[in-house]
A and B are shown apart, each in its own frame.
Chain A
């Protein structure tokens, strides 16, 4: 590894020294990094490699169920895309819709807490994060019951003739998107809050003083200044939403609302079709990483972590 040899030979010190570093180049950083990075290497990087290797395997002729052998069959990817592109597109569509909805819901809330809540700010922030502490699956099940046949919403909607007599709210694409929106809302609100909180309110006032209407002020002042929060929030919502299958399972109806996560789960754990599941996982990861890096570059926020 490049950096271990550099440590031993004490390679040249790079010219612009970070202001906080008080130690000269030494072994210390590598000792500090070693255990954690080894853990991430062994249980994140190596598994991704085995995932890729599994994705190129094929069934052993005449073998048992779940027996596969390495044949480097890259055509697995073409087969998988051919068979599951619908679920792929659907996952990205649902996740995209949920992200946009979450942004629309969370932005005014984050703005209020950051700029208007005064001394209630921290308490409100705690309340935004609080639903996190109730189990994710229990919350989703709660929505299923609230929106379900025996819940309080459906009879009201039927009475108002907003939905036809036989129709339901759950077991639909709408319910899945609503569930995704709800579950990842705090991931959207927190980064938005963090960037809105940094905006000096006098900038916003200055917009008004210079005869910009509130909408223009928002578009030209507030929104650009909060862009880092928008980027971080949309990523933190989109990524888990695209890979999620709990909402699709509990609030949707198979196969109409099947997402890519559902396919990976059933291929892997029920059908024991490891190559297909691995191919799908690898494609999902690659697609998301390409999206993330492309998006981060376009939005121009260099430092996310």
Chain B
């Protein structure tokens, strides 16, 4: 058998095998050791990924005053009053507002492009793909700097508006990629069935296609929200004197970050993790119910 021939062909079978652990697999001591070694390695790698999060979590309880560097004792005050430090919640509010608006716009525009690319023939496909790919392959500092030259040349005042314009711009490409992948994975038989049952094109789209693509759109929106919320470099170039959460953290890093910023950062993290884990569990249950 040639190796490159078709890893996809055999997928259906090995999916079943994997669940019950393949019976053909000879389990030698060496193989078992190697298996364990890889598991230990994966655990260590995850621990490494989570080290700064653990640090931030611990130090969000630090009774530190203005500058959160040395451990000074346990307190719940930061968590009870996350807006206690000046400006931190204004910045957070701005970030959330920017995130929601730019995610909404980018998700709508990106989804439309994804449908055009996945479902239609048209001229200029290469140019379209290029216009979507190149922004993703451009470093943030270049995106930020080039937008700033535009705004300076046309004397556009920097602020909320320019930040949102920038965020929509860099989120669109990611939405297109995520939604396009979802559309490509759909079984065309489902839509054909709807058409066979005399559904019109619009009905098929609304009742069959859109609900099937919806998880992909939701994932794209979440990705876009987290990209927007976490963006620093492009925002820093185009924000004028509007403060965002990452900007607040960066600017105050020079004179000491208040523990409240840790609280907000850590809380956002655990909230996101919770949402994703719950979604994962629900998906698992639904799949089980189907089988």
Closest to B71 in A: A150
Query: How does the 8 Å CB contact mask read for A169-208 relative to B, with 1 for contact and 0 for none?
Result: 0000000000000100110000000000011111101100
Binds A, one of B33-41, B76-84, B210-218: B33-41
Number of interface residues of B (CB under 8 A): 108
Among residues 49 to 69 in chain B, which have CB atoms less than 8 Å away from a CB atom of chain A?
A: 49-53, 55-56, 59, 69
List, in ascending order, chain A residues with CB within 8 A of B49's CB.
Answer: 127-128, 130-131, 182, 185-186
Number of interface residues of A (CB under 8 A): 117
B115 engages A139 (CB within 8 Å): no
List, in ascending order, chain A residues with CB within 8 A of B146's CB.
Answer: 44, 47-48, 50-51, 278, 281
Closest to B130 in A: A305
B133 engages A138 (CB within 8 Å): no
Supposing A36-B110, A205-B24, A281-B145 touch, asked if A124 and B46 sit within 8 A by C-beta, the answer is: yes
List, in ascending order, chain A residues with CB within 8 A of B257's CB.
Answer: 141
B131 engages A41 (CB within 8 Å): yes
Supposing A124-B42, A146-B51 touch, asked if A135 and B141 sit within 8 A by C-beta, the answer is: no
A21 engages B42 (CB within 8 Å): no
Separation of A198 and B53 alpha carbons in the complex (Å) = 31
Supposing A135-B249, A137-B232 touch, asked if A43 and B149 sit within 8 A by C-beta, the answer is: no
Supposing A116-B39, A242-B139, A268-B148 touch, asked if A133 and B268 sit within 8 A by C-beta, the answer is: yes
A135 engages B268 (CB within 8 Å): yes
Separation of A136 and B188 alpha carbons in the complex (Å) = 40
Separation of A240 and B176 alpha carbons in the complex (Å) = 20
Separation of A117 and B55 alpha carbons in the complex (Å) = 27
List, in ascending order, chain A residues with CB within 8 A of B127's CB.
Answer: 3
Separation of A212 and B226 alpha carbons in the complex (Å) = 45
B119 engages A1 (CB within 8 Å): no
Answer yes or no: B89 CB below 8 A from chain A CBs.
no
Return B289 CB to nearest CB of chain A, in Å.
16
Answer yes or no: A78 CB below 8 A from chain B CBs.
no
List, in ascending order, chain B residues with CB within 8 A of A201's CB.
Answer: 14, 18, 22
Pick from B145, B168, B226, B280: contact of A39, CB below 8 A.
B168
Closest to A68 in B: B152
Supposing A145-B69, A268-B145, A268-B148 touch, asked if A111 and B38 sit within 8 A by C-beta, the answer is: yes
Nearest 9 A/B pairs, CB to CB: A243-B139, A142-B52, A3-B124, A29-B120, A133-B272, A36-B109, A47-B146, A32-B116, A51-B146
